[in-house]
Structure 1
Amino acid sequence: MRFLPLALLASPLLAATHEVDSPEGLSAALRNLKAGDVVRIAPGDYPAGHFVTGIADLTIEASDAAKPPHFKGGKEAWHFTRCPGLTLRNLKVSGQSANGINLDDGGERGKPVAKTLIEGVTVSDIGPTGNFDGIKCSGLTDLVIRDCEISGWGGQAIDFVGCSKALITGCVFTGKPGYSQHTGPQFKGGSEDIVIEKCRFKDAGQRPVQAGGSTGLDFFRPPGAKYEARRITIRDNVIEGGMCAAAFTGVDGAEFTGNTVKNPEKWIFRILQETKEEGFTPCRNVLVKDNSFVFQRAKVRDETNIGPDTSPETFRFENNRWLAEDKPSASTPKLPVEEAGGTYGKP
């Protein structure tokens, strides 16, 4: 009987590390991928348009974290379909006309793709207008996006459609003139158990954070979900500028806690219902607690923009600090329910 060496038993039998230093070398590596492979890419400029399907436990990363490879132009820089255990680390993409990076479940809406890590990735200049996203994720679970930077996009900075058990942490979102930037991070289409924390937003679009959204019924994950999003936590972020700080759009349960909001352009919150199919829950059950809001009363005439078919009476406001810098005496907000323990007009 022939026995395998212990070293082979301890690691994937066919996994390999591909050291890449040219576009041709990258193409060759991607043609020969196996489960568990690592692709390390040297500094330099590379074309976009890379598609990977059905490879598990794949890592694609810079060989030098301080000098990430730069994927320029094209329609999409990278598109991954049904790649569980995927890691993307220290990459730079820019100038795509559609999405920067796209990850999906291949349309198998009842079979989410597990365990994705996106870390130290920079995405910029996407679109510039229309429904085109910096990072688009559909049907993923156990997802972490950490220490990434996204600047200038058309649709969403990050778009989650039917994603669950996800964390976005330590990221920076910066809007640019000339880009439509409908929302920053958005969680919709049946998304649930999402945390976005310790991020910084600067002029990050019409809705810098959107819990919920508007999704065609054929795209919900899981199929048959009756909520755009639920159990969304937005905490310990700094949100400066933008049309508002956050929009709650068809969300069934969310928390907005410990955030610092500075100088929104028109409102602080929007409470909306854009999916109105039979049986869908109205926007409801949001806790707003322990935040600091600094704004200009000349711009913010109403703190909350409330649309029809919502349940603003289910919102709770607790222990927030409100300051209209240009008119401190007018700092007390007009809210859909009475706040508990708020502080008004003090720096």
Structure 2
Amino acid sequence: MQSVTIRSGSELRQALQAARPGTQLLLAPGEFGAGYFLENIHGAPSKPIVVRAADPARPPRFSGGSVALHLARVSWLEIHDLVIEKMSQNGLNIDDGGQYTKPSHHVTLKNLRISELPAGNRDGIKLSGIDDFHVEGCHVARWGGSGIDMVGCHRGKIVGCTFREGGDNGVQCKGGTSEVTIQRCRFEGAGLRGINLGGSTGLEFFRPPVATMPAQARYEARNLTVEGCTFSGNDAPLAFVGVDGATVRFNTLFLPRKWALRILQETRLPEFIACRRGVLESNLIVFRSDSWGEGGVNIGSGTAPETFTFARNFWWCQDRPERSRPRLPSPETEGRYGQDPLLGSDLKPRTGSPALKVGAHALPPTNL
């Protein structure tokens, strides 16, 4: 692998334009400004183009512009160990350059720290038309829209990331997004909705294009998985919104402000499916009766809540244990209600807890 040390913004721009498969760009400590737009950056299998900090303990800093980096039509690209802050729009944009049938692909983001974005539709990481992607160990704080927003992204994994003090939601999967797993992440005050499983997207932005999706079975998102995550301080940790199949298992939901989950339909055209086929199993939910609306589940019109499946979840009403049983849209199998899970300050059950087999800490190693 060829390594090139980069010490300025002009050097970075030139090096990215010239990079070939196997090139590693090592960014020296210091300020790199913002506003880089580049396209057609392509590594190769086993020879990615890598942009990373020369010294991860002193990461390069991008600040003071509209977007730090906007990369279009890329493949086999990795970005590691950067600090991005105080942008007026999004922190990092990666997309397909508007070529909706030719996605960018094999993109890896690791250990990015993104923060201080204004209110409104401003996202920490914006991914549009990306296939086969991996986001790991990133920290996103104080953003307006989504910590990570995906539009038409497929076959991806978001693992070990932290989202704090956000705006609308921590992670959003919409616009035809499918086959995405969100695993072992923390959502701490991460917006009104911790994870938006689906959403509402203008028809012109779907990937694949709406016209190519099955008639009468179009969806905002499909086949999503959330597992091993911890949520605290959200209005609703989970929102199923026009999604066709989403499995939520082995997560800890601690003191939501209104509901454990929402089942909604925001894209209401007749050719779109009603929100359906959600699965919640082996989750640990701790709540208070004075912050618990509609029995814990908010159900909007135009949805199919009867298709949701509930199994082996552990429900504990902290201030009124006798009110621990939620009001679910379909019967739960082997649910447990009204027992103190004996959580420690780290939200993990202590020795002797009746909740040792549920929640984020109990995600089986085979799921990792």
Note closer, same or farther for the CA distance 1:229–1:31 as it changes in structure 2 (3 Å cut): closer
Residue equivalent to 2:359 = none
Residue equivalent to 2:203 = 217
Q: Is it true that 1:296 corresponds to 2:288 in the alignment?
A: yes
* 1:108 aligned residue (99, 118, 141): 99
Letter in 2 for 1:106: G
Q: Is the 8 A contact 1:322 1:343 kept in 2?
A: yes
Deviations along 1:158-211, one digit per CA (max 9) or x if unpaired, are 0110000000000000015xxxx1111100000000000101110000011011
Alignment of 1:264-343 (within 5 A): 264-302=256-294, 303-343=296-336
Residue equivalent to 1:3 = none
In the superposition, the TM-score normalised over structure 2's length comes to 0.87
Find the residue that maps to 1:245 and give its secondary structure. strand
Q: Is the 8 A contact 1:246 1:270 kept in 2?
A: yes
Question: Which blocks of at least 5 consecutive residues in structure 2 are unaligned?
Answer: 44-48, 341-368
Residue equivalent to 2:365 = none
Find the residue that maps to 2:190 and give its secondary structure. coil
Residue equivalent to 1:141 = 131
Superposed CA RMSD in Å reads: 1.2
Deviations along 1:272-325, one digit per CA (max 9) or x if unpaired, are 000011210110001100000001111113211111100000001100000110
- Aligned length, in residue pairs: 328
Q: Is it true that 1:73 corresponds to 2:64 in the alignment?
A: yes
Alignment of 1:191-202 (within 5 A): 191-202=177-188
Find the residue that maps to 2:193 and give its secondary structure. coil
Question: Which blocks of at least 5 consecutive residues in structure 1 are unaligned?
Answer: 1-10
| Shift, 1:31, TM fit | 4.8
Residue equivalent to 1:229 = 221
Letter in 2 for 1:266: K
| Shift, 1:29, TM fit | 2.6
Aligned-partner Cα distance in 1 for 2:10–2:74: 23
Note closer, same or farther for the CA distance 1:261–1:98 as it changes in structure 2 (3 Å cut): same
Alignment of 1:125-164 (within 5 A): 125-126=116-117, 128-164=118-154
Aligned-partner Cα distance in 1 for 2:155–2:11: 35
Q: Is the 8 A contact 2:233 2:255 kept in 1?
A: yes
Alignment of 1:36-185 (within 5 A): 36-57=22-43, 58-126=49-117, 128-175=118-165, 181-185=167-171
| Shift, 1:35, TM fit | 4.3
Letter in 1 for 2:38: V
Query: Structure 1: which 4+ aligned runs deviate by more than 6 Å?
Result: none
Aligned-partner Cα distance in 1 for 2:148–2:103: 18
| Shift, 1:91, TM fit | 0.7
